[in-house]
Amino acid sequence: MRGALIKRVDPWHLAGRGGAVEGVLGAGRLGRLGAMATPLGGFDISLRFDRMDGQAAAVGAAVMVRLSVRGRVQTVCQRCLEPLDLPVEVDGTVLVARSDAEARALDGDTEALVVDVGEMLELDDLVQDEVMLALPFAPRHEPGECASHDHHKGDRIDGASAHDDQTDPVLAHRNREVVVEPEEKRTNNPFAVLAALQGGDGEEN
């Protein structure tokens, strides 16, 4: 079983020898992540530190951190508002620079952190930032797994139930059957007869 992940490292020291760090980041150290999701246990973490290609001999060269995170979190489904468990599977690359100017000179497609000279890289913050970026903005259950699926199974497609039709006069009027009278019934209508007589009078005059 892996031990606890160390809290901070010197990325340049580790990169100089191609070092790696592994361990478990316990749920008690994931406080910032709690604003988005609840960790279900600790996360398995692997970090590998290397100098960027072509910069091995450069003084203050940026460091490339390859990060792997595995774990689970619980959040809320945005469709049914019920608990939703999600796997956490993060595999990414983060660049670490010594200054803002150095960070701006790096590959713009890759995230860059700035760690001042003499400072250490805080691994708790690094891991939590990457996990929060990887979580879906509006998490939802898979189709058919949402709690609202069973709750509304008996409802019509338009969202109204049969009970609604009986209690809502608008729905009842909308859904009532339209009856077309036979031709002979329409001709026996007293108003229709009166209209015919009036029309006949007009012809005689």
CA distance 26 to 86: 17
For residue 72, what is the DSSP state? E
Q: How many CA atoms lie within 13 A of 41 on its CB side?
A: 12
Token representation of residue 203:
């012809």
CA distance 156 to 136: 30
| Paired residues of 39 in beta bridges | 73
pLDDT at 103: 83
Do residues 135 and 37 lie in contact, with contact meaning Cβ atoms separated by under 8 Å? yes
User: Each residue's pLDDT tens digit in the chain (205 positions)?
Assistant: 579 999 999 998 999 889 999 999 999 999 999 889 999 999 999 999 998 865 544 445 789 999 999 999 999 999 999 999 999 999 999 999 988 888 888 766 677 899 987 789 999 999 999 999 999 999 999 888 887 555 444 443 344 444 444 444 444 444 444 444 555 544 455 555 556 556 655 454 4
pLDDT at 163: 43
Token representation of residue 143:
């189709």
pLDDT at 101: 84
pLDDT at 83: 94
pLDDT at 152: 47
Q: Are strands 121-122 and 8-9 parallel, antiparallel or unpaired?
A: antiparallel
CA distance 187 to 199: 15
Do residues 176 and 165 lie in contact, with contact meaning Cβ atoms separated by under 8 Å? no
